[in-house]
Amino acid sequence: MALIVQKFGGTSVGDIERIRNVANKVKKELGKGNKVAVVVSAMSGVTNQLVAYVKELSPLATAEAWAEYDQVVASGEQVTSGLLALCLCEMGIPARSYSGWQIPLKTDKAHGKARIESIDAQKMLAEINSGKVVVIAGFQGVSEDGRVSTLGRGGSDTSAVALAAALKADRCDIYTDVNGVYTTDPRIVPVARKLDKIAYEEMLEMASLGAKVLQTRSVEMAMNHSVIVQVLNSFNDEAGTLLVKEEDIMEQKRITGIAYSRDDARISLTEIANIPGMSAALFAPLAQAGINVDMIVQNVTEGGKSTDITFTVPKADVDMALKVVENLQGKLKYKSLHADKNVAKISVVGVGMRSHTGIAQTMFEALAEKNINISVISTSEIKISVLIGEEYTELAVRALHAAFELEKA
Amino acid sequence: MALIVQKFGGTSVGDIERIRNVANKVKKELGKGNKVAVVVSAMSGVTNQLVAYVKELSPLATAEAWAEYDQVVASGEQVTSGLLALCLCEMGIPARSYSGWQIPLKTDKAHGKARIESIDAQKMLAEINSGKVVVIAGFQGVSEDGRVSTLGRGGSDTSAVALAAALKADRCDIYTDVNGVYTTDPRIVPVARKLDKIAYEEMLEMASLGAKVLQTRSVEMAMNHSVIVQVLNSFNDEAGTLLVKEEDIMEQKRITGIAYSRDDARISLTEIANIPGMSAALFAPLAQAGINVDMIVQNVTEGGKSTDITFTVPKADVDMALKVVENLQGKLKYKSLHADKNVAKISVVGVGMRSHTGIAQTMFEALAEKNINISVISTSEIKISVLIGEEYTELAVRALHAAFELEKA
């Protein structure tokens, strides 16, 4: 008899009929002889409405404002937890709801993006072992001063994985509205293939590179606590994608998937005086301003006297980044500064890269063949990312998907 | 410096603009040098939507179902408390929200209609005395087993009065969408006059007899704890109606107000064997079935051999009541049984009745003059109620309002 944590997102609990559907998923899992804990999101649209109310009243510029934000937006998951528990009870399945504070799932005081500090699993485990299904409001906890806290948008995934770890669950099933994790976005590449398994590290790259199926933090947490996570569709009965340790994937392909993101902008500085400490002089002030610099490329110009630097920042931060860099003109004495928001980051990801060679070559050739110009390249052990013109996004994704033959199992 | 509890109902916090209006009411009270605790209802429509969700899933036939009902519906007040606290903070007024469990406001386990057991005022008082406005989610508490409980529809009034008692507030202002308590429903009698003061006992009768401005339980609680309650309009600045002790009303009028209710049905049994214990044989089973019998009239027929009994029950319970009575036929051997839902109860209310005579005569004459037939009469120290045909409701209310000259101050 296994203990399974099931997590259902907003579209899976979007109305009463869908909540009934979720209750049937729970029943099915129980029918296999398993014990079940369920984590639910707010009904789709609810959180957006609540956030809109809050934003009408406040720019959310203070810690106190974020505490009230949490008081407001955490209510959506509370509602769903009660409705699903009620639905299960009416089906003859003993169940009860839990808000974050009732567990308690304790967090720090960083309201709006709180980190989980501890989860008391005792009460829930007692109920589960007495034959009850516990239905937990995701996304929320209680801070050390007894106020409602939330884990940030998409935090219900993190709740689910953290609860699976605390309950020592055998598996954490993340139900969503897609069949699992694909080799790339099926809306762009119709022959994209659902992956049966993916390594945590790969999923982490895919998630942080724009694949929206799982929140990055939840993948990190699953990896750190070795929680076996399955991503699957609440609207059908197909097998999903299993997140596992690298060594649990028998045969590594060269590449597992292709991610893309339109969330970054490129900033270029030309002819900076090429002196020691120049990089620190540029990037330290950006870091102090809270701007997350991602890709960086530096070219020394002819003669070695000056250097050009290009880097990427989140689109939302580009104006702030430009201001920071403008203030550094006296120090860096660059010739020109420009920003380009019309860029996309395309990444090939796979733990197979560790043992296969020629990945970069295949990637660059495939892009060159379509006349797609690469402006920045960055690599890690298991991914290669390139920055290209935004209008080439789909073309590049399709070319790479074909070049690595990802449609083949 | 006084401590004022302000309570705002659903229409008063119906949208973000109205929440801003409420924040201004709070600011105004603070401007008078007073300290303020605020109790809020859910935004209008929200509770109805949540109750509709619940009812789609469950007939609410078990205690467990009611516990989940509370988990769901209590969320509405939580949202408003956060939004108002946020709005106050943005106006530069230090504030924080409280859900029932955060106070804690402890209740029994009768979910859906819980009774308040205790309120810990310490934490709130410390915040109030440090210069903060506390914004409390009305209608809710936490049961002894740590689950969310609610006090029943309209329970925010009760929350407000109970909190005013616990905080030893100087006054509890109940903001609503009418200017106060009127001599009768102004929609029926346009010249109905707003009362400056009303005695608790009178308000209790008015509330339980159909005047919807305050929840009966909250009036009871105010009376028991001598909380001075003011009913006033959140959409203007007019003085409201003050609920006070009888002795604090200087000049008693004969009658204070006229209430009406269409919530009852009449049940009549004819020619019951007139034997001792007959009333008990009839009313004990009704009480056991949880049916609240209100007015009762009994006539002994000619010769004294048999008796006719007429009584009223809530319209919602009339079918159940008929079943109970039908089962008693073997015992009571009545000749006929019929129910009439087309009835209304009209009541004249006033503590002045204790010292003035001729009230009943004025009442009956006024109704007779309009050819309105009275089928049942019941009286208490401070009210006389009559049951009449429902279609005469407005006519009767107008006739009585005129007969007692209630339009005159």
Mutate to test the interface with B, among A49, A79, A109, A122 (most CBs of B within 10 A): A79
B198 bridge partner residues:
B243
Spatial neighbors of B293 by CB under 8 A, at least 6 apart, are B283, B286, B287, B311, B312, B313
Mean predicted confidence (pLDDT) in A252-281: 89
Torsion B57-B60-B65-B69 (CA) sign: positive
Which chain B residues are closer than 8 Å to A69 by Cβ? 82, 86
- The structure tokens listed for B109 are 């386990």
pLDDT digits (tens, 9 = 90+) for A99-119: 999 999 999 999 999 999 999
Q: Hey, is the C-beta of B120 within 8 angstroms of any chain A C-beta?
A: no
Q: Hey, is the C-beta of A273 within 8 angstroms of any chain B C-beta?
A: no
The dihedrals phi and psi of A147, each to the nearest 5 degrees, come to -105, 155
The residue with tokens 């008692």 is B165
Query: Which residue from B23, B2, B1, B3 is spatially nearest to B12, judged by alpha carbons?
Result: B23
Q: Hey, is the C-beta of B64 within 8 angstroms of any chain A C-beta?
A: yes
| Nearest Cβ partner for A57 among B54, B74, B83 | B83
* Cα B43 from Cα B22, distance rounded (Å): 12
Q: How confident is the model at residue B160 (pLDDT cuts 50, 70, 90)?
A: very high
| Nearest Cβ partner for B68 among A53, A65, A82 | A82
Q: How confident is the model at residue B210 (pLDDT cuts 50, 70, 90)?
A: low
Name the DSSP letter for residue B243: E
Instruction: Indicate if ipTM > 0.95.
Output: no
Q: Hey, is the C-beta of A17 within 8 angstroms of any chain B C-beta?
A: no
Q: How confident is the model at residue A276 (pLDDT cuts 50, 70, 90)?
A: confident
| Nearest Cβ partner for A79 among B72, B89, B97 | B72
CB atoms A89 and B64 under 8 Å: yes
Q: How confident is the model at residue B198 (pLDDT cuts 50, 70, 90)?
A: very high
- For A17, counting Cβ atoms within 10 Å of its Cβ (0-12 exposed, 13-18 middle, 19+ buried), the class is exposed
CB atoms A82 and B69 under 8 Å: yes
8 A C-beta contact, residue B331 and residue B278: no
CB atoms A75 and B75 under 8 Å: yes
The residue with tokens 């733990």 is A351
| Nearest Cβ partner for B78 among A19, A75, A102 | A75
**% of residues, chain A, pLDDT over 70:** 99
Which residue type, as a one-letter code, is found at position A321?
A
CB atoms B68 and A89 under 8 Å: yes
Q: Hey, is the C-beta of A262 within 8 angstroms of any chain B C-beta?
A: no
Q: Hey, is the C-beta of A378 within 8 angstroms of any chain B C-beta?
A: no
Q: Hey, is the C-beta of B63 within 8 angstroms of any chain A C-beta?
A: no
For B80, name the nearest residue in chain A, comparing CA atoms only.
A72
* Cα B102 from Cα B124, distance rounded (Å): 10
Mean pLDDT for chain A overall: 93
Q: Hey, is the C-beta of A113 within 8 angstroms of any chain B C-beta?
A: no
Q: Which H, E and C letters describe chain A, residue by residue?
A: CCEEEEEECCHHHCCHHHHHHHHHHHHHHHHCCCEEEEEECCCCCHHHHHHHHHHHHCCCCCHHHHHHHHHHHCHHHHHHHHHHHHHHHHCCCCEEEECHHHCCEEECCCCCCCCEEEECCHHHHHHHHCCCEEEEECCEEEECCCCEEECCCCHHHHHHHHHHHHCCCCEEEEEECCCCCECCCCCCCCCCCECCEEEHHHHHHHHHCCCCCCCHHHHHHHHHCCCCEEEEECCCCCCCEEEECHHHCCCCCCCCEEEEECCEEEEEEEEEECCCCHHHHHHHHHHHCCCCCCCEEEEECHHHCEEEEEEEEEHHHHHHHHHHHHHCHHHHCCCEEEEECCEEEEEEECHHHHCCCCHHHHHHHHHHHCCCCCCEEEEECCEEEEEEEHHHHHHHHHHHHHHCCCCCC
Which chain A residues are closer than 8 Å to B87 by Cβ? 57-58
8 A C-beta contact, residue A210 and residue A223: no
**Interface contacts (A, B; CB < 8 Å):** 113
**% of residues, chain A, pLDDT over 90:** 82
pLDDT digits (tens, 9 = 90+) for B54-89: 999 999 999 999 999 999 999 999 999 999 999 999
CB atoms A68 and B90 under 8 Å: no
* Cα A244 from Cα A193, distance rounded (Å): 18
For A135, name the nearest residue in chain B, comparing CA atoms only.
B68
Q: Hey, is the C-beta of A41 within 8 angstroms of any chain B C-beta?
A: no
What number of CA atoms fall less than 13 Å from residue A282's CA on the CB side?
A: 26
For B66, name the nearest residue in chain A, comparing CA atoms only.
A86
Across the beta sheet with B140-143, the strand order is: B116-119, B105-107, B140-143, B148-150
pLDDT digits (tens, 9 = 90+) for A284-313: 999 999 899 999 988 877 777 788 999 999
For A80, name the nearest residue in chain B, comparing CA atoms only.
B72
Check pLDDT > 70 for residue B104: yes
8 A C-beta contact, residue A15 and residue A43: yes
8 A C-beta contact, residue A138 and residue A154: no
Q: Hey, is the C-beta of A64 within 8 angstroms of any chain B C-beta?
A: yes
Domains and their CATH numbers in chain A: 3-177 (3.40.1160.10)
Q: Hey, is the C-beta of B252 within 8 angstroms of any chain A C-beta?
A: no
Q: Hey, is the C-beta of B147 within 8 angstroms of any chain A C-beta?
A: yes
Which residue type, as a one-letter code, is found at position B298?
Q
Check pLDDT > 80 for residue B290: yes
Q: Hey, is the C-beta of A66 within 8 angstroms of any chain B C-beta?
A: no
CB atoms A68 and B82 under 8 Å: yes
For A14, name the nearest residue in chain B, comparing CA atoms only.
B53
Rounded to the nearest 10 degrees, how much is the dihedral formed by the CA atoms of A101, A102, A103, A109? 10
Check pLDDT > 70 for residue B141: yes
Mean predicted confidence (pLDDT) in A209-219: 83
DSSP string, B163-175: HHHHTT-SEEEEE
pLDDT digits (tens, 9 = 90+) for A166-208: 999 999 999 998 899 999 999 999 999 999 999 999 999 988 7
More confident residue, B355 or A221: A221
Q: Hey, is the C-beta of B48 within 8 angstroms of any chain A C-beta?
A: no
For B59, name the nearest residue in chain A, comparing CA atoms only.
A90
Q: Hey, is the C-beta of A316 within 8 angstroms of any chain B C-beta?
A: no
pLDDT digits (tens, 9 = 90+) for A137-162: 999 999 999 999 999 877 999 999 99
For B53, name the nearest residue in chain A, comparing CA atoms only.
A16
Which chain B residues are closer than 8 Å to A16 by Cβ? 53, 56-57
Q: Hey, is the C-beta of B26 within 8 angstroms of any chain A C-beta?
A: no
Q: How confident is the model at residue B313 (pLDDT cuts 50, 70, 90)?
A: very high
Give the CA angle between residues A31, A35, A37 to the nearest 5°: 115
Examine residue B314 and say whether the peptide bond preceding it is cis (omega within 30 degrees of 0): no
Mutate to test the interface with B, among A15, A68, A134, A144 (most CBs of B within 10 A): A68
pLDDT digits (tens, 9 = 90+) for B227-245: 999 999 999 999 999 999 9
Q: What's the predicted TM-score (pTM) here?
A: 0.86
Which chain B residues are closer than 8 Å to A64 by Cβ? 89, 96
* Cα B220 from Cα B223, distance rounded (Å): 5
Query: Which residue from B136, B134, B89, B86 is spatially nearest to B116, judged by alpha carbons?
Result: B136
Name the DSSP letter for residue B196: S
Check pLDDT > 90 for residue B20: yes
Distances (CA, A) of A223 to A162, A380, B20: 11, 18, 46
8 A C-beta contact, residue A257 and residue A183: yes
Q: Hey, is the C-beta of A159 within 8 angstroms of any chain B C-beta?
A: no
Count of beta carbons in the 10 Å neighbourhood of residue B161: 31
Q: How confident is the model at residue B173 (pLDDT cuts 50, 70, 90)?
A: very high
Mutate to test the interface with A, among B13, B38, B51, B53 (most CBs of A within 10 A): B53
| Nearest Cβ partner for A78 among B75, B81, B90 | B75
* Cα B80 from Cα B38, distance rounded (Å): 11
| Nearest Cβ partner for A71 among B74, B76, B78 | B78
Count of beta carbons in the 10 Å neighbourhood of residue B388: 21
Query: Which residue from B373, B312, B321 is spatially nearest to B341, judged by alpha carbons?
Result: B312
Coil vs helix vs strand at B23: helix
**Of A241-245, A360-364, B206-210, which range is least confident?**
B206-210
Check pLDDT > 80 for residue B386: yes
Which chain A residues are closer than 8 Å to B74 by Cβ? 78
Mutate to test the interface with B, among A17, A24, A57 (most CBs of B within 10 A): A57
Which chain B residues are closer than 8 Å to A86 by Cβ? 54, 57-58, 65, 68-69, 72
Query: Which residue from B113, B54, B37, B100 is spatially nearest to B74, judged by alpha carbons?
Result: B100
Mean predicted confidence (pLDDT) in A224-230: 95
